[in-house]
Amino acid sequence: MAEYAPLPDVQTLHGTPPIGPTPEGGEVQVIASGWKLALREFLDNRLAVVGALVLIFFVLFCFVGPLVYHTNQTLTNPLITDLPPGGGHPLGTDENGFDELGRIMVGGQTALEVGFLASFIATVVGTLYGSIAGLAGGIVDNVLMRFVDILLSIPFLLIVLVLATKYSATVLEEALILGSFSWLVPARLVRGEVLTLRERDFVYAARVMGSRRSRLVVRHLIPNALSVVIVNVTFQIADAILALAYLGFLGFGLQYPSVSWGDMLGNAQNYVSEGYWWLVYPVGGCLVAVVLACNLIGDALRDAFDVRLRRR
Amino acid sequence: MIGFVIRRLAVAVLVTLGIALVTFLLLHILSPSPVYAVLGAKAEPAAVKAWNLQHGYDRPVLAQFLTYIGNIIHGDFGYSYKLSQSVTALFREHSGRSAYLSGSALVLSLLIALPLGIAQAVRRNSIGDYTVTSLNFILYSMPSFFLGLILIQFLALDWGVFPPVVSDQITTVWGAFTHPLQLTLPIVTLAAINVASFSRYMRSSALDNLAQDYIRLARAKGLSQRAVLTRHLLRNACLPMITLVGLSIPYLLAGNLLIEVLFNYSGIGLLFYTALGNLDYNVLLAYVIAGGILTVLGNLIADVAVAVADPRIRLG
C-alpha cells in the first residue's frame, strides 16, 4: 500500500505540491490528493482513455452531428424506402424513408439521454438511501435493506418490461422506470461504505463538534463514499443503455417521432433476412461501442480508485 | 448447517412474500382488473361492475393479494383470460422447453468458461489472453439479440448450416434433444453471453489461486502441469463460480426471454412476451414472481453449495 508523507496542512493538500526536486534516496512521495492520483492512474490506462474518447465522440456525433448533417426525421417518405448506402444517404434509408445516418444520431441522443438520466436517478436515490440506512443502523437499517433485498430479487428486465407496457413513451418515462429499479446496487454499495466510514475518527470528530446528521451525511459520508459511487455510475449508464435497447427490440420503445437505437433494431430480424444489412450493423455497432466505452471507463475507474492496486 | 438452512429458508419465504406483494401492487396500479381483456374495451359499466364483483376484483387490494397468495400456495397462479387456460397449465406446458434451453446454455458456457479462464490465467498477459479478454469485453457489452442476429446472418442465412428460427415442429424437450441443429443457434447465443462474464471471473479466481502456496507445493513435489491444473487449481478456482452461477439466474431468465423471442422458440419467455403485448396480467404476475422465487432459491442453493464444497466455510 502506498505510504504518503504526512500532510502538513489543508493548503498543500489542495494546492500544488510545494515540493522541490526529489531528495537523494527518493523515498519522499509527491503529495497529491486521492482524486489527482486517481486521475493520473486513469489517464495511464490506455483502454480507458480510448473509452472516454469514444464516449465523447458519440456525444458530439449524436448531439452536434444533426446540426451539421441535416436530415428529415419526422416525415416519412415512401419513395425512398430501404435504399442501400450511397447517393446522398451514406448509410441508406430505412423502411419509412428516413436517412439511416441521421436516424442513428437521433436515436443515439435518446439512448445517451436515457442512459445518463437513469443512472443519475439511480445514483442520487441509491446514495441517499444507502447513506441513511448505513448511518441509522439497527432496525431502520435492517428494514431498509431487506426492502432492497426484495427488490433486487425481482429480475430487473422482467419488471421493467411490465412497467414499460404502460410507461415507455418518452425519454423521461423510460429513464424513470429504468432508474427506479437500478438504485438498489448503489444503495448497497454506499451503505457498506458508510458502515465502515461511520466508525472513523473524523466522523467521531464531526459528531463531537456537534454536526447534525444531515451535515454528517452530506459533508462527510457521501464525499468519502463517492469513489464507489462514481465507478458504479459508468456501469449504470452502460446497463441502462443496454436495457433501453432490449426494451426497444421487444417493441416497448419510445413513441414516434422519438426513436432509440433499440427501437431501430426492433425489426432487425426482418432486415437481416431481407438483406438490409445497413439497417442492422451500423446501429448495433454504435450501441456496442457506447456500452463498451462505458464498461472500459468503469473498469479503469475501479482500478484507479483502488488504492491497493495503485502503482507508486 | 441444518440450522442455517432453516433460517435462510425462513428469510427466503419472507423475501418471496415481499416479491409477490411488490409485483402484485405494481400490476394492480397498472391495471386494477383484467375485466376489459375479458369483456372488451367498450364493455358496459354495469357489466364491468358485475364481472368485478363476481371475480372478486372489487375487494380491497390487500384482500385480493391474500387470496392470490393462498391460491399460489395451492399451486394456482390464476387464469389467463387471453389464452383461456390456467397459468399453471401454461407454465407446465412451456417451462420444460425453456429449462432445456437455459440448462444446456449454462452447461455449455461452464464447459467453455472454466478451461478458458484457467488457460488465460496460466498464460496471463500473452497475446492469446489479451485477445480472449477483449473478445469477452465486447461480448459482455453486446445485447444478446444482436449477437444472435450476427449468428443468424452468417451461420443460418449465408452458409445455411442452421435454421434461422426454431421450427414449430419442436414441441417437446425430447424433440429439441433429437433435433440438435434446431436449437444450436439459440443455445450458442445464450451460452456466449454467459461465457463472457463467467470466464472473466474464472480468470481472476485462477490467478488468485495460482499465487498460493499449495500450487507451489504441488509443483515442488513434481506434479505435472496438467495434474496441478486439473487436480489442484480447478477445484479451488471453481468455488467462486458456484456463487456466480447461483446469481446468474435472473440474467438467464432475461436472456431466455430475448433469445426465445428472437428465434421464435416457444418457451415461457415467449409466453411472457406475448402476455406483455396482450396485457395478460396473470401470466405477467406469475412469471415475475416465479423469476423472483428462482432468484432467491439460486442465492440460497449457491450459499449452501459453497459451504458443502468448501470445508473452510462454516455456516452458523
**Which residues does chain A have within 8 Å of residue B30's beta carbon, measured at their own beta carbons?**
162-163, 165-166
Chain A CA closest to residue B269: A158
Q: Phi and psi dihedrals of A97, rounded to 5?
A: 85, 15
**Cβ–Cβ below 8 Å for A166 and B149:** no
Which helix H or strand E contains B183, and what residues bound it?
helix B180-210
Average pLDDT over residues B220-225: 85
Mean pLDDT of chain A: 80
Query: Chain A 156-185, CB below 8 Å of chain B: which residues?
Result: 156-159, 161-163, 165-166
Size (chain A), residues: 312
pLDDT in tens, B155-173: 777 787 777 777 766 667 7
Closest partner residue to B143 among A146, A149, A246, by Cβ? A246
Please state which of the four CATH numbers 1.20.1740.10, 3.30.565.10, 3.40.50.720, 1.10.3720.10 is assigned to the domain occupying A53-66+98-309: 1.10.3720.10
Amino acid A116: pLDDT: 92
pLDDT in tens, B130-155: 888 888 888 888 888 888 888 888 87
Sign of CA dihedral A218, A219, A221, A222: positive
**Cβ–Cβ below 8 Å for A292 and B141:** yes
Amino acid B91: pLDDT: 85
The verdict on B12 touching A (C-beta cutoff 8 Å) is no
* E-assigned strand segments in A55-194: none
Give the least confident one: A108-117, A258-267, B169-178: B169-178
Q: What is the pTM of this model?
A: 0.85
Query: Could you state, in order of their start, the residue ranges of all structural domains in chain A?
Result: 53-66+98-309
**How buried is residue A110: exposed, middle or buried, by Cβ count under 10 Å (0-12/13-18/19+)?**
buried
Q: Does residue A312 have a pLDDT over 50?
A: no
pLDDT band at B76 (very low <50, low <70, confident <90, very high): confident
pLDDT in tens, B250-274: 778 877 888 888 888 888 888 889 8
Give the least confident one: A116-130, B26-40, B227-241: B26-40
Helical spans, DSSP H, in A180-260: 184-197, 201-208, 213-215, 222-249
Q: Residue B54: helix, strand or coil by DSSP? A: helix
A8 to chain B, closest Cα gap in Å: 38
pLDDT band at A87 (very low <50, low <70, confident <90, very high): confident
3-state helix/strand/coil string of B73-117: HCCCCCEECCCCEEHHHHHHHHHHHHHHHHHHHHHHHHHHHHHHH
A109/A171 Cα distance (integer angstroms): 10
B128/A304 Cα distance (integer angstroms): 25
Amino acid A15: pLDDT: 46
**Cβ–Cβ below 8 Å for B288 and A288:** no
Complex-level ipTM: 0.86
Do the Cβ atoms of B308 and B239 come closer than 8 Å?
no
Mutate to test the interface with A, among B13, B16, B17, B19 (most CBs of A within 10 A): B19
Q: Does residue B174 have a pLDDT over 50?
A: yes
Sign of CA dihedral A127, A132, A133, A137: positive
A20/A18 Cα distance (integer angstroms): 7
Do the Cβ atoms of B20 and B72 come closer than 8 Å?
yes
Which helix H or strand E contains B200, and what residues bound it?
helix B180-210
The verdict on B279 touching A (C-beta cutoff 8 Å) is yes
pLDDT in tens, A223-255: 888 888 888 888 899 999 999 999 888 888 887
pLDDT band at A31 (very low <50, low <70, confident <90, very high): low
Sign of CA dihedral A110, A111, A116, A118: positive
A116/A238 Cα distance (integer angstroms): 9
Q: Which CATH code is given to the segment(s) B96-266? A: 1.10.3720.10
**Which residues does chain A have within 8 Å of residue B262's beta carbon, measured at their own beta carbons?**
269
| Cα A90 from chain centre | 30
Q: Does residue A9 have a pLDDT over 50?
A: no
How many CA atoms within 13 Å lie on the side-chain side of A147? 13
A62 to chain B, closest Cα gap in Å: 20
pLDDT in tens, B87-104: 888 888 888 888 888 888
Average pLDDT over residues B245-249: 84
* DSSP per-residue letters across A82-151: TPPSBTTBTT-B-TTS-BHHHHHHHHHHHHHHHHHHHHHHHHHHHHHHHHHHHHH-HHHHHHHHHHHHHH
Cis peptide before B164 (omega within 30 of 0): no
